[in-house]
Amino acid sequence: MAKHQHNNTAVVSHEPSSQVKTIWKVFFILLGITVFEFIIAFVLQPSYLKTSIFVGLTIVKAAYIVGEFMHLKHEAKSLFWAILLPVIFVVWLLLALMLEGGHIFTDRL
């Protein structure tokens, strides 16, 4: 609401704010994680450990993108949970159907 009230009175500033520092920090974190994922992809043999590392790092990357770039971390708590809760159920569906896929595999043998 506050946004609509300062029509045409907003101050123009050509100095980058302190936010810019955070943006670049997040960029280097994302870059670092991706590089690390690449190293893991070639160093480790396929295993549950390797898969869990990938999934864990992906969630960390997603948290930075949604939390900082999409600003969700700084939104009202009700908006934050309105977005996050449905996603938790999606993860449940994903896990359930992956297990189901495993059973299809054993039944095919």
Partner 1 sequence: MAATVTTESSSTATFDRRSWMGGIEPMKASYGKLMMWFFLISDTFTFSALLVTYGLIRFSFPAYDPAIYGAFKFSNEYWPTPDKVYNALPFLHGLDAPLIFVGIMTFILIFSSVTMVLAVEAGHRMDRADVEKYMLWTIVGGIAFLGCQAWEWSHFIHGTEQGTIIKEIIGGQTVSRTIFGASLVENQYGPPAFADLFFFITGFHGTHVLSGVVLNILIFYRTSFGLYDTRGNYEMVEKVGLYWHFVDLVWVFVFTFFYLV
Q: Is 30 left (phi over 0), alpha (psi -120 to 50) or beta?
A: alpha
| Cα-based distances in Å from 50 to 43, 97, 100, 105, 109 | 10, 21, 21, 22, 26
- Distance in Å, CB of 91 to partner 1, minimum: 9
| Cα-based distances in Å from 57 to 43, 52, 65, 69 | 16, 8, 12, 17
- Distance in Å, CB of 102 to partner 1, minimum: 5
Nearest to 60 by CA among 93, 36, 94: 36
Q: Is 58 in the site for partner 1 (CB under 8 A)?
A: yes
What residues numbered 11-50 form the site for partner 1, per CB under 8 A?
A: 11-17, 19-20, 23-24, 26-27, 30-31, 34, 37-38, 41-42, 46
Which residues would be at the binding site for partner 1 (CB under 8 A)? 1, 3-4, 6-17, 19-20, 23-24, 26-27, 30-31, 34, 37-38, 41-42, 46, 51, 54-55, 57-58, 61-62, 65-66, 68-70, 75-79, 81-83, 86-87, 90, 93-94, 97-102, 104-105, 108
